[in-house]
Structure 1
Amino acid sequence: MSLPLKIVKKRDPRDVTKPTKFYVSTKSTGEVTFEELALQSAGQCTVKEADCYAVIKALEHNVKDALSQGKIVRFGTIGSFQISISSHGAATKEELGIKSVKQKRVLFRPDKRLKNLLSSLKFTKEEGFNK
């Protein structure tokens, strides 16, 4: 299977006065819903779709709960999830507090086996490609 590519025109968000440039980008081929994952999983094992859905739903809750407790969630050969923040800097420790937090995000770090998938990817060109 190959990953489709497309050409997109983008402006530099740091300097909108610069001319726009063209870039190669991946093209989404759709999405997979929670329910579809449960159905696929049920077809690959001996449990029913409803059981798979319940397990995936519980997993979703448990991942959120662990992250909210400050834990790193290692998700098998997929990778790990972790909460990260950025804050304003200060000259002394006393100047910092909870209000110093300016951004919160979830980091995903792919496992090396998932990263290896990248080396085996094949691409297909959409119209508009010359080479």
Structure 2
Amino acid sequence: MSLKIKALNIKNPQDLNEESKYIAKAISTGLIDFERLAYLVSNQCTVRESDCYAVLLALEHNMLDELQQGKVVNFGRIGNFQIGVKSNREETAEEVTLSTIKSAHLNFRASSKLRSKLKSVEFSFKGQTSS
């Protein structure tokens, strides 16, 4: 199994006058939902699918609640999730207010174990096998 890659033509966001160039972009092969995850987990242990689904729903609820309280959510061997914000740049600290915040986003920091696993990912380019 390998991760599919395609070439994507993009502009430099820091210099829109610069000629666009190509970068490699990972291609999504689909989406896995909680029901499928619950099914997969239930087939790997003695817990029923409905129990796995209930645990995943509780995990989702509690993760969102903890993130909204400003906590970093640690997923063990997976990594950490934390809410971050994008804001306008201001000259002084006093000028930074709630109105300067543009949006919130989710930061993910992979654990060292997960990062080391990524080193062994194989790639294929538009259906061609290559590493």
The alignment's TM-score, normalised by the length of structure 2, stands at 0.83
Paired residue for 2:64?
A: 64
Q: Structure 2 counterpart of 1:76, which letter?
A: G
Instruction: State the distance in 2 between where 1:79 and 1:49 align.
Output: 25
Secondary structure of 1:59's aligned partner? helix
Cα drift, residue 48 of structure 1: 1.1
- Which residue is 1:45 aligned to? 45
User: Aligned-pair RMSD on alpha carbons?
Assistant: 2.3
Q: 1:111 to 1:92 in 2, by over 3 A?
A: closer
Compute the displacement of 1:85 (Å). Answer: 2.3
Give me the whole-angstrom Cα distance separating, in 1, the residues matched to 2:93 and 2:40: 54
Code of the aligned partner of 1:55: V
Task: Compute the displacement of 1:102 (Å).
Answer: 3.0
Aligned residue number for residue 112 of structure 2: 112
- Tell me what 1:30 maps to: 30
Larger of the two Rg values belongs to structure: 1
Q: So what's the TM-score if we normalise by structure 1?
A: 0.83
Whether 2:50 is the aligned partner of 1:20: answer: no
The number of equivalent residue pairs is 128
- 1:53-105 Cα offsets, whole Å, 9 max, x none, are 00000000000000111111001111001122244435353x44332333322
Q: CA offset at residue 16 of structure 1? A: 3.6
What does residue 92 of structure 2 align with? 91
In structure 2, what is the equivalent of residue 103 of structure 1?
103
TM-superposed CA distance for 1:127, in Å, is 6.1
Give % identity: 40
Equivalent residue letter for 1:110: A
Provide, for residues 85-126 of structure 1, a one-character-per-residue CA deviation record: whole Å limited to 9, x for no partner.
244435353x44332333322211111111112211111222
Structure 2: give runs of 5+ residues left out of the alignment: none
Change in 2 beyond 3 A, CA 1:103/1:90: farther
Checking the alignment, whether the CA contact within 8 Å between 2:4 and 2:127 is kept in structure 1 is: no
Larger RCO (CA under 8 A, 6+ residues apart) = 1
User: Is the 8 Å Cα contact of residues 11 and 20 (structure 2) preserved in structure 1?
Assistant: yes
